[in-house]
Structure 1
Amino acid sequence: MPVDHYENFPVASLLLPRRLRQPVEAIYRFARAADDIADEGDAPAAARLQALAAYGDELDRIERGVPPVMPQFSALAAVIGEWRLPLQLLRDLLDAFAQDVVKKRYADYPELLDYCRRSANPVGRLLLHLVGRTGDDNLRRSDCICSALQLVNFWQDIALDWQKERVYLPQCDLARFAIAEEQIAAACWSEQWAALLEFQITRTRQLLLAGAPLVHALPGRMAWEIRLTVQGGLRILERIGSVRGDVFTQRPVLAAGDWLRIGSRCLRM
């Protein structure tokens, strides 16, 4: 489970029951393709927003029972119909990706979490709809896990996001720890930077652990999938912490040796 983009979430792995793999793949393909519109290539902002709006038009057609124009939406339309998935969750993803095109800074943590609410949480909620576990506590815990995984990705990718002119570290936190954006541009580690990242790691770990009890409400193999996801996210945070936040010299990722540790921890959840 590499923690990168929507790989932060279970993507039709062998742990998933066979009947869920096709709908999860359809959700993933939609999210991945829409995210790539916002992030990849060199298209101008207006063209990216227009392409995302076209995706929204396809969701509107699906809602009206009209066949999609884009062939790649046919499988998604079938999944939405069969599993009665809420279209608003898919619209929330498009809204977040469109925001990424035009918004490059976040004033504070609540503003960042509002972005996560639309960019990450819908995926977890869609998975809960697939397994019929949409009680309030389950939704809340899923949101905690998904938002935390999105934050893990942000802290991994500070250097990469800077190349896209994005800074997801809240502006108020940069000011609190006396970090100027020029330090990010220069890939310059300092004790203040280490303290800033340790603050983010602690907060993100707490959020991830707050969602972890969700695994006890999920059926068999899905529960194990989420166990691996949670423990993978926690391990990435440990790796960021082990280099004291120096994500400039090497992007912290899971290595082959991490899996035994992750598997052992899953058994104790």
Structure 2
Amino acid sequence: MPVDHYENFPVASFLLPARLREPVEAIYAFARSADDIADEGDAPAIVRLAQLNDYRRELHLIEQGKASTEPMFTRLAASIAEHRLPIPLFRDLLDAFEQDVGKTRYADYPELLDYCRRSANPVGRLMLRLYQADTPANLAQSDAICTSLQLINFWQDVAIDWQKQRIYLPADDMARFGVSETQLAEQRVDDAWRSLMRFQVDRARALMHSGAPLATALPGRIGWELRLIVLGGLRILKRIEAVGYDVFRHRPTLGKRDALGLAAAAINYHANTR
């Protein structure tokens, strides 16, 4: 499996308490379907943006306490009301999806982090709210984990994103390491490329480690789920390194064979795990 912040939703996980399956599935349906509007198919940008704006109007109805005629939003409204989920987090997700429709380059790391703040961090914040564990300290560590997962997804998907004419590598980093867009088009892996990717991998790993203590701070099932997510992200980074940063010809993923290893590692987990 790839490391993707929507794939990391514990929708079908046996670790998810029965009482939270409905709200998690409702959140997932919203995020996954909106993301697909932005990314899948061949609809023109204006059509994609109009469809995402329909989602925004539905959120406004929920906020006003008005009924929706769409089953997905009726379901989502019930979960928002029952668990007091912050509607601005759903709007942040929509902002990120809308940005993906039109924005294809990022000038620097702060600009990329701002995208991750809206595309990835709301997922962790919503999960913490469901578990009633959204303290300021927990939210900060969750943001670090979610942003790291988003960055890891970018680095394993450089080739896929290029096919969509998107580059998430910060332009100033590319210039500093001497990597051009032409090099991406040629899929040329040389010392400059490896240095650039090593820098990005190290940065994503450091961010993951800064949030990793959350996986032991949270009790019970959410802690176990989070340990598996953290360990999975770190393993993908190792695999990017193992293929010499050639993510053009070797897209690192996790499969069934990794499941037992990650489970064993979760038992012996500590926040500084490598």
Query: Quick check: TM above 0.5?
Result: yes
1:138: which partner in 2? 138
Distance 1:172 1:62 in 2: 41
Distance 2:126 2:255 in 1: 29
2:83: which partner in 1? 83
Aligned pair count reads 269
Q: Match for 2:49: what amino acid?
A: L
Q: Match for 2:113: what amino acid?
A: L
Q: Match for 2:52: what amino acid?
A: L
State the secondary structure of the residue aligned to 1:29. Answer: helix
1:46: which partner in 2? 46
More deviation, 250-259/164-173: 250-259
Residues 155-170 of structure 1 correspond to what in structure 2 (within 5 A)?
A: 155-170=155-170
Q: CA deviation at 1:95?
A: 0.4
5+ residue gaps, structure 1, are: none
Distance 1:43 1:104 in 2: 17
Residues 1-269 of structure 1 correspond to what in structure 2 (within 5 A)?
A: 2-4=2-4, 6-267=6-267, 268-269=269-270
Distance 2:25 2:153 in 1: 21
Change in 2 beyond 3 A, CA 1:184/1:5: farther
Change in 2 beyond 3 A, CA 1:12/1:127: farther
Distance 2:17 2:8 in 1: 19
Change in 2 beyond 3 A, CA 1:215/1:156: same
**Does the CA contact (< 8 Å) of 1:12 and 1:20 recur in 2?**
no
State the secondary structure of the residue aligned to 1:231. Answer: helix
Distance 1:66 1:224 in 2: 37
**Does the CA contact (< 8 Å) of 2:240 and 2:252 recur in 1?**
yes
Q: CA deviation at 1:109?
A: 0.7
Distance 1:35 1:94 in 2: 8
1:53-111: CA deviations, max 9, x gaps? Answer: 10000000011111113222111111001111000000000000000111111011111
Distance 1:100 1:152 in 2: 17
Q: Match for 1:26: what amino acid?
A: A
Distance 2:132 2:206 in 1: 26
Q: CA deviation at 1:5?
A: 5.2
Q: CA deviation at 1:8?
A: 3.3
Q: CA deviation at 1:9?
A: 3.8
**Does the CA contact (< 8 Å) of 2:5 and 2:123 recur in 1?**
no
5+ residue gaps, structure 2, are: none
State the secondary structure of the residue aligned to 1:204. Answer: helix
State the secondary structure of the residue aligned to 1:68. Answer: coil
More deviation, 62-71/84-93: 62-71
Q: CA deviation at 1:239?
A: 0.4
CA RMSD across the alignment:
1.2
State the secondary structure of the residue aligned to 1:8. Answer: coil
Q: Could you state the TM-score of these two structures normalised by the residue count of structure 2?
A: 0.95
**Does the CA contact (< 8 Å) of 2:67 and 2:74 recur in 1?**
yes
Q: CA deviation at 1:250?
A: 2.0
State the secondary structure of the residue aligned to 2:252. Answer: coil
State the secondary structure of the residue aligned to 1:7. Answer: coil
Q: CA deviation at 1:163?
A: 1.0
Distance 2:252 2:100 in 1: 23
Q: Could you state the TM-score of these two structures normalised by the residue count of structure 1?
A: 0.97
Q: CA deviation at 1:11?
A: 3.0
Q: Match for 1:141: what amino acid?
A: Q
Distance 2:197 2:22 in 1: 38
Point out 4+ residue stretches in structure 1 off by more than 4 angstroms. Answer: none
Q: CA deviation at 1:153?
A: 0.4
Q: Match for 2:180: what amino acid?
A: A
